A and B are shown apart, each in its own frame.
Chain A
Amino acid sequence: MMSEQASNPIYDQVDAIYRAESRRVFATLIRLLGDFDLAEEAVQTAFAAALEQWPREGMPENPRTWLVSTGRFKAIDVLRRQARFDGSVTDEMLERRGGVDHAAWDQPEVEDDRLRLIFTCCHPALAPDAQVALTLREVCDLTTEEIARAFLTHAPTIAQRIVRAKTKIRDEHIPYEVPERSELPSRLDVVLRVIYLVFNEGYSASSGASLTRHDLSAEAIRLGRLFVDLLPEPEAQGLLALMLLHESRRAARVSASGEMVLLDDQDRSLWNREQIAEGIALVRKALSSRRFGPYTLQAAIAALHAEAPNAAATDWVEIVALYNLLLRVDPNPVVELNRAVAVAERDGPAAGLQLVEEILAKGELENYHLAHSARAELCRRLGQNEKARGSYEKALSLSQQEPERHFLKKRLQELPRK
């Protein structure tokens, strides 16, 4: 936000209002002006006008209303002037934007605007990577440079994705609306998928790699909180809980020397108890609704880990039971694999290894490094060192993350030589 070097406290207040309200103002202006780009310009114009007028006239009673109103009038002004020069702005467009009544300022409408924005950015008709870029840009207000850095790509690539998405929204007439009740489950899935994707981008990065990627997880959690506030659906609560519980372990996941630390070996005193408490409360709320799904179940499993005072005290019986439930709602080989690892904890490595072998034999996880590292771990525990060696090597050949590779190499070195 542009800031003049002035000592007037109004400038700080405008800045604070920008941070707190600019996205709400933006979301409402999209509805009133019917166009993302127009709305973006209108927000900037409105805040510029605030910086200019408020020091003179004092702050208005309702700053948000003032900003929305000012942004809209100035945008329509620009459109009118454009209409005189070229035929691209039709009378119909002007009429539609000019003739909105002021019941639009109602609080519920405004909250709905933020939901409208999220659901539109996460529309299934948009390409998945465009959904992510658009959400981070328009809902989270990240710059294209920040998004590019976070996803290890170039700003023009992100910019192009965003432009294409906005073009499709405009050309195909994707409406700015909250989905109807009947559409909500499938549309909700898309939003949650986007949020979780953003979280995972930040989560899997090593702590040394870049501060930006750490912020990505924080951004996802912020987005999750906003979404749960606006729409307290159980699966949204479940996802937020899952993210908080994963995030609570961040400080313990990496040793001082930058090495990966497995869950079993983590210093639990480093876990963030506030995030754990918030996560557990959300899991309980979501489970009590009886309308929960995979995110909630995954969060419930994470909660059981979080509640155990030490690795040995983990309730693996309950965890396996939750995986059984999870497999019913979300049958897929990765969940089966995770369940097999839990079974190994509950019943011993031999039982777990048998399941892992069966899963690998089906072939779907042939190129999944974690499947091979799970097999390696269980073989190692059973003293089957040659099989362990083979699996560690296979996992290493498939692994992309440096901390993981380092861990696997270490395990290989630790195996007794024949």
Chain B
Amino acid sequence: MKYICLAYISEEGWGTMTESQRNAALDEVFAYTDELRNSGHLVATEGLQSARNATTLRIVNGKVSVTDGPYVETKEKIGGIYVIEARDLNHAIQLMSKHPVVRAGGVEIRAVVDMSAMYEASRERRAAAKS
């Protein structure tokens, strides 16, 4: 079972840290990421740039509007994403509970939806439409 884990962090907190504090924090995060990888539970992970660098697309007045900033303004921002492989939700909770990023803000866990059946049906519909 795949689970997507969104790691929320307080960017303010990060901003007030010294360089050695930041290094220590990064070491903790990377160490645990290594653990997940080595135990075969890590499917993918990416760090995110600051939410200030986010760009959001919406429709305004019938046109695509490009604006600066994240879609939703929250106190904590999404700082990283993980896709993990776990037996079930309890296992996913166990794996992410030990991740230092939980202390930095929080982690949202959601099961990945297996869209393969939906995708197949869509492919057939689109193929039929072509013929």
Q: How long is the Cα–Cα vector from A175 to B89 in the complex, in angstroms?
A: 7
- Please measure, in the bound complex, the distance between the C-alpha atom of A370 and the C-alpha atom of B80, giving whole angstroms: 46
- B34 interface hit (Cβ, 8 Å): no
Q: Are A87 and B110 in contact (CB under 8 A)?
A: no
Establish whether residues A173 and B111, one from each chain, have CB atoms under 8 Å apart when the complex forms.
yes
8 contacts between A and B (CB under 8 A): A172-B110, A172-B111, A173-B1, A174-B88, A175-B87, A175-B88, A177-B90, A179-B90
Q: Mark B86-128, 1 if CB is under 8 A from A, else 0.
A: 0111110110000000000000001101000100000000000
Q: Contact between A173 and B117 (Cβ–Cβ < 8 Å)?
A: no
- Shortest CB-to-CB span from A58 to chain B, Å, is 42
Complex CA gap A299/B94 in Å reads 33
User: Does A311 lie at the interface of the complex (its beta carbon under 8 Å from any beta carbon of B)?
Assistant: no
Residues in chain A within 8 A of chain B (CB atoms): 87, 125, 171-175, 177, 179, 183
Closest to A125 in B: B89
Looking at the assembled complex, report how far the CB atom of B87 sits from the nearest CB atom of chain A, in whole angstroms. Answer: 7
Q: Which residues of B contact A171 (CB under 8 A)?
A: 111, 113
**Please, which residues of chain A bring their CB within 8 A of the CB of B88?**
173-175
**Chain A residues positioned under 8 Å from B1 (CB to CB):** 173
CB distance from A350 to the nearest CB of B (A): 45
Size range of the chain B interface in the assembly = 10 to 19
| C-alpha spacing A177/B111, complex, angstroms | 18
Taking the nearest CB of chain B, how far is it from the CB of A351, in angstroms? 42
Which among B89, B91, B113 has the highest number of chain A CB atoms within 10 Å? B89
Interface centre among A87, A125, A173, A175 (most CB of B within 10 A): A173
Q: Is the CB of A87 within 8 A of B117?
A: yes
With both chains docked as a complex, state the minimum distance between the C-beta of B59 and any C-beta of chain A, in angstroms: 29
> Contact: A174 with B90, CB < 8 Å?
yes
- Chain A residues, Cβ within 8 Å of B89: 125, 172-175
A286 to chain B, nearest CB (A): 27
**Residue numbers in A under 8 Å from B94 (CB-CB):** 183
Ordered nearest first, which 9 A-B pairs have the shortest CB separation?
A175-B88, A173-B88, A172-B111, A174-B89, A172-B89, A173-B1, A173-B89, A175-B90, A173-B111
Instruction: Give the residues in chain A near B110, CB-CB below 8 Å.
Output: 172
C-alpha gap A173/B91 in the complex (Å): 10
Known: A175-B89, A183-B90. 5 other contacts (CB 8 A): A87-B117, A125-B93, A174-B90, A175-B87, A177-B90
The chain B residue with its CB closest to the CB of A182 is: B94
Q: Specify which chain B residues have a CB less than 8 angstroms from the CB of A174 in the assembled complex.
A: 88-90
**Closest Cβ–Cβ distance, residue B23 to chain A (whole Å):** 31
A contact residues around B117 at 8 Å (CB) = 87
**Minimum CB distance partner of B91 in chain A:** A175
Closest to A174 in B: B89
Annotate B64-96 by CB proximity to A: 1 below 8 A, 0 otherwise. 000000000000000000000001111101100
| CB proximity to A under 8 Å, residues B11-42 | none
CB of A86, distance to nearest CB on chain B (Å): 11
Chain B residues near A125: list those with CB within 8 A: 89, 93
Please name the residue on chain B nearest to A124 by beta carbon: B93
Report the separation of the CA atoms of residues A277 and B61 in the bound assembly, to the nearest whole angstrom: 73
In the complex formed, the residue of B with least CB distance to A170 is B111
Closest Cβ of chain A to B101, distance in Å, is 19
B88 to A, closest residue via Cβ: A175
A183 to B94, CA, bound (A): 9
Q: Tell me how far the C-beta of A162 lies from the nearest C-beta in chain B, rounded to whole angstroms.
A: 18
A183 and B89 CA atoms in complex are apart in Å by 13
B117 CB to nearest chain A CB (Å): 7
Q: Which residues of B sit under 8 angstroms from A173, Cβ to Cβ?
A: 1, 88-89, 111
A179 and B93 CA atoms in complex are apart in Å by 12
B93 neighbours in A (Cβ, 8 Å): 125
